[in-house]
Amino acid sequence: MNATELANKLREKFGDIISPPSEFRGEVSVKVAEAERIVEVCLFAKDELGFDYLVDVSSLDNYGEDPRWTVVYHLYGIASKQYIRLTVTVTEERSELPTVITVWRTADWHEREIYDMMGIRFRGHPDLRRILMWEGYPYFPLRKDFPLAGKSSNLPEVAFSKPAPMEGGPFVTVSGGNDSIAREPRVRIPGTDSVEFNNRVEARSDNKETRGQAFGPGPIEPKK
């Protein structure tokens, strides 16, 4: 059975919350309309359709669009040798969806990483802590409104706080300063490049003050 047929089975079972499967470069993706039912869908895909291997969970920040977040699940069936991609969208106000850790335990670290990088929370995750950044770091760095050059943090002695060697030179990024791409603007493709993004961020009136700061869950308090 190929991936499109498997996707249609998913559609038979769950009806309209599953979109018709779309194919691009031989990969089948379906959109799941209700983020709250993702566990049910995943459980069915695993138990009935043989997608026993969760390859990856990743996330997208559709900055400036609503809903803002997309969470992407890549499923693989070791016996059927088929991939399928499930995507769900989550609004910025909510920034939360249920964890699939009960279906595949490998989701544990993937979900922690998404929380760490994007700030999307997974309800029911037993240990939702930062994983790559340090405990107490206030921002979510993969969000599109977080500048590439970084933001200076008020944690003396934690991060490197002395001037970097060659600071001020063309290849040294200063946190809070311009992105390398803005200092040397060569890539200018509308809709994709960061110059355009920075402009869009500047234009957004509601967050001039809080640019790059956390939306949704808010800053994380260090663990006691």
Query: Can you give the binding site for other proteins, defined by CB under 8 A?
Result: 24-25, 27, 29, 52-56, 58, 60-61, 72, 74, 78, 81, 83, 85, 101, 104-106, 108-110, 113, 117, 126-127, 130-134, 141-142, 146, 148, 179-181, 186-194
Q: How far apart are CA 129 and CA 135, in angstroms?
A: 8
Q: Are 39 and 103 in contact (CB under 8 A)?
A: yes
**Shortest distance, CB of residue 169 to other proteins, whole angstroms?**
18
Cβ-contact 217, 121 below 8 angstroms: yes
For other proteins, the closer CB: 192 or 205: 192
How far is the C-alpha of 16 from the C-alpha of 33, rounded, in Å?
A: 8
Packing angle, helices 38-47 and 3-14, rounded to 10:
130
Q: Taking the complex as a whole, how short is the minimal distance between the CB of residue 192 and other proteins, in angstroms?
A: 4
* Nearer CB in complex with other proteins: 17/117: 117
Residue with Cβ nearer other proteins (33 or 182): 182
Distance between the two ends of the chain, CA-based, in angstroms? Answer: 51
Beta carbons within 8 Å of 102's beta carbon, 6+ residues apart: 39, 43, 124
- Minimum distance between the CB of residue 207 and other proteins, rounded to whole angstroms? 19
Q: How far is the CB of 56 from other proteins (least distance, A)?
A: 4
Closer to other proteins by Cβ: residue 15 or 126: 126
